[in-house]
Amino acid sequence: MRDGSTPSVRKPPGVFFSGGDNGAVEPADSIGRLGFSRWYERRLIEGHAWFVSAFSSMILVAVCMEELTFKGGAARLLAYVSLVLAATALCIYGIFRYQRIITEAERVGERATCPGCGVYARFKLFSANSVRCRKCSHEWRLID
Ligand SMILES: [Zn+2]
């Protein structure tokens, strides 16, 4: 850098809907740190928490839309409109996050069975995307 500062890390475009996950490192880093079963469980919990948030936001939008009237002044109307817009944004974001997290968990989960001996989720990561079975030492690609 010309000014002597450290280079800034720029987020790739579309990071809002990807949730900031670094595609090159995740989910291998998390699976290596937590183990597959715990990682899978956490992804399902996180995904469904986003689903519940999105569903709650949808109910909030419906309730606020019912309360939207021109009675009570502009401040009240503005507050309800702001709440509806915020809840709509949260609902859309929550649905995108839910879909992305569950899709990723299922994609990795489908490959968690050892092709050599058929045992499920008993492997160790030895590279960013490949694993080795703890039972029969068969190696396969877990992550694309
Ligand atoms: Zn095996």
As a whole number of angstroms, the distance between CA 51 and CA 123 comes to 30
Give the pLDDT confidence of 72-116 residue by residue, as tens digits: 888 888 999 999 999 999 999 999 999 999 999 999 999 999 999
- The Å distance, Cα 120 to ligand 1 centre, comes to 8
Full domain range(s) for residue 131: 113-144
Same domain, 105 and 142: no
Name the average pLDDT for the chain.
85
Q: How far is the CA of 85 from the centre of ligand 1 (A)?
A: 51
Report angle CA 138, 143, 144 to the nearest 5 degrees: 120
> 39 lies in a domain?
yes
Q: Are residues 40 and 92 in the same domain?
A: yes
Extended strands (E) in the chain: 123-125, 130-133, 139-141
84 lies in a domain?
yes
Of 103, 102, 100, which is closest to residue 14 (Cα–Cα)? 100
Residue-wise pLDDT for 120-144, tens only, equals 999 999 998 899 999 999 999 998 8
Protein residues placing their CB within 5 Å of the ion ligand 1: 114, 116-117, 133, 135-136, 138
pLDDT for res 4: 43
137 Cα–ligand 1 center, Å: 6
In the structure, what pLDDT confidence band is assigned to residue 28 with cuts at 50, 70 and 90?
A: confident
Percent with pLDDT over 90 in the chain = 62
Are both 88 and 126 inside the same structural domain? no
Q: Which of 122, 118, 114 is nearest to 138 (CA)?
A: 114
Total number of domains constituting the chain: 2
**pLDDT for the residue numbered 17:** 53
Tell whether 132 and 72 lie within a shared domain: no
137 and 101 both lie in a single domain? no
Cα 138 to averaged position of ligand 1 atoms, centre (Å): 5
123 plus 67 within the same structural domain: no
Local structure of residue 113 (DSSP, 8 states): B
Q: Provide the CB-side half-sphere exposure for 41 (13 A, CA).
A: 6
Tell me, yes or no, whether 140 and 91 share the same domain.
no
Q: Is 22 a domain residue?
A: no
My answer on whether 55 and 85 are in the same domain is yes
Say whether both 118 and 53 belong to one domain: no
Is residue 20 over pLDDT 60?
Answer: no
